[in-house]
Copies of this chain bind each other. A is one copy, B any other.
Amino acid sequence: MDGTYYVGVDLGGTYIKAGLVDEHGAHLSNLKLATQADRETETVVSNIHKAAEQAIAEAKVPRDAVAGIGIGSPGPLSHSKGIIYKPANIPCFRNLPLRDIIYAKTGIRTTLENDANAAAWGEFWAGAGRDVKDFIMFTLGTGIGGGIIVDGRMLRGHFENGAEIGHCIVARNGRQCGCGQRGCVEAYSSAHNIATRAAELIGQGEASSLKSIIDSGEELNAKHVEQAAKAGDALAMRVWDDACHYLAVLIVNMQHICNPQRIVLAGGLIAAGDYLLNRVREYAQQETWKLLDDMPEIRFADLGDNAGFIGAAGCAWEACRTGQW
């Protein structure tokens, strides 16, 4: 596959990121367009098409050297059918056969993948997992997403909805999650929930230096909680530590289920650096069994915001390699 290239498109509710990527995962172009998710379907589809064409044009590569297009999209969606069902942040999309639409518009074979899976594939293919075969990525943002690679293959599952690791229950009868469950790891450890949990506890009358931020009318975020915890605020420390502790429980559970060589953390929350990573590692060592030493390495992702489009391109590369679109 020397000299062939892959378009990666990372579709988000606000922006479409796209680029042309070579067979080693290096990108030759890298651009960002507005999604215009509040407009009608045709506009959003046209923006996706435009981003893909622009990624090729900007890379100055002959069009016939482009072997595939990969699109990472918010779900729920079907990879095998190429259909996006009803993404929360692109309300005009309803059961849209985006894969076949983009194939028809470009004449280039296209594959569709869940955005968290695509980003994990990007790190696996060209980032923090490029030297391993059993790999898991947690994306710690507003919610918690994930991608799981087992023996070099994406784990999707029968309903094509696997690796929804944020909704693993770590506390029976625990905190309410937006998904309808209670005690999901997302309800304790996502950036959004770190902030809302702190605000809730303060609202219940617990003392905290964070109260002044809430009282000022500013919306509390995870960075505020992190900073207050570092400054010794007891409530913020508890919320931050619980977030790290529940992530460690999830890591131990993934250790026993998928037994990966490496687990990589990505997403906005990793801006906290060692204040996150060291705690998560310590709690994982504390929680894990003593029978065997099969704890995966725990580290941060490499590709940052580019993981999405690079991984989407990687999904097209994989589809070419295996012949499975």
Contacts and interface: CB of A to CB of B under 8 A. Distances in A.
Given A134-B158, A153-B151, A181-B287, A254 B257 contact: yes
Interface stretch (A47-55, A201-209, A227-235, A290-298): A290-298
Contacts of A252: 168-169, 181
Interface stretch (A2-10, A89-97, A258-266): A258-266
Contacts of A151: 153, 155-156
A162 B259 contact: yes
A245 interface: yes
Sort chain A's interface into a size bin: 35 or more
Nearest to A148: B257
Interface in A286-312: 287-292, 294, 296
Contacts of A180: 289-291
B289 A168 contact: no
A256 B76 CA distance: 13
Interface in A127-156: 132-134, 148, 150-151, 153, 155-156
A157 interface: yes
Interface in A245-274: 245-246, 249, 252-254, 256-261
A160 interface: yes
Nearest to A254: B257
Contacts of A155: 150-151, 258-259
Interface string A104-123: 00000000000000000000
B167 A259 contact: no
Contacts of A57: none
A299 to B, nearest CB: 15
Nearest to A160: B259
A168 B168 CA distance: 11
B181 A157 contact: no
A157 B134 contact: yes
B259 A158 contact: yes
A225 to B, nearest CB: 20
Contacts of A253: 168-169, 253
Contacts of A249: 169, 172
Contact of A133 (B158, B161, B292): B158
A261 B158 contact: yes
B165 A257 contact: yes
A83 to B, nearest CB: 14
Q: Which 7 A-B pairs have the closest CB atoms?
A: A157-B259, A180-B290, A162-B259, A158-B261, A159-B294, A134-B158, A179-B289
Interface of A: 76, 132-134, 148, 150-151, 153, 155-165, 167-172, 177, 179-182, 245-246, 249, 252-254, 256-261, 287-292, 294, 296
